[in-house]
Amino acid sequence: MRRDLATRGLTEFALKDRSRFLQVFRGVWIEADPSSRVLCPPWADQQWLQQQVRLSALLLLHPNVIGCSLTAAILYGLPLPSRRKDFDTHIISGDRGLRIRRKAVKLHRGSGFDITEFYNLPLVSATDLFFELAPLLSQNGLIALGDAAISRQNSGPLTSLDQLREKADASHYLKARKSVRRALTLIRETVDSPRETRLRLWIIENGFPEPAVHPEVKCSTVSATLRPDLGYPDIKLAIEYEGDHHRTSSYQFGVDIERRQLLEAEGWVVLRVSKRTDMDTFKHILATHLG
């Protein structure tokens, strides 16, 4: 900030040199080629870093604001549908007199929420965030967010299903109540990715029984426990979702082959699904096994 120029041995003229400094907001600059390190999660991408910089800059100007809504979801690493990803920075404050008119900044009003310190950034808690985002997300989008929040995806678990249910039960006024109540019946622990969530929900929506998430398979061949993505233990049917890294990583490809062989050695049938799978055909195949 301008008040820091003297202690840093800089002049006003230096701030005009775009090769050295970039303006984040009026009154706040960042080094164009930063010499400092930023504490961040290992999965952080460019969007995460952008929101980290913008929220940090806003905190210099308004120390009591908190990251919320879509910004908090991005910083927590929670899944959002592409149409809900934006470049605005969402903050919340209980100060009714606070006014912030800055480009791509959305100020929300609220109080009574819990605050979590996440990589040195104040954010609304993941529990409160779930309910804040409920009116903005589709039913399945909310379930995917809930799955991620209570699992080990990225930096999780960030909350628990019990905490979400307790918050819902204690809320006298609940936005998107119907969507929230249904989501809380379908959120599952230990889900590895949003694609696994979508596959599980697709199976349910197409009239099949809900598969178990990561059912345990005792493997006598190597004295290990395998956990396929989804499965029906009673008929020994496993369903694995394969992302692109399963195809492009030679190591992962080898692991997948061994995993499938071990499951088959225990009498399991393994069905594999990717984003290129013809789901109409898969529906018929699944019906054959479950019929």
For the residues 84-94, what does the mean pLDDT come to? 86
Rounded Cα distance between 173 and 116, Å, is 23
- CA distances for 86 relative to 30, 38, 99, 155, 175, angstroms: 22, 22, 22, 22, 22
Give the pLDDT confidence of 43-64 residue by residue, as tens digits. 999 999 999 999 999 999 999 9
Cβ-Cβ contacts under 8 Å for 218 (sequence gap 6 or more): 225, 266
Asked if residue 250 has pLDDT above 70, the reply is no
Residue 211 token pair: 């598969």
The pLDDT tens digits for 191-225 are 999 999 999 999 999 999 999 999 999 988 888 89
**What value does the mean pLDDT of the chain take?**
92
pLDDT score for 249: 55
Read off the pTM.
Answer: 0.91
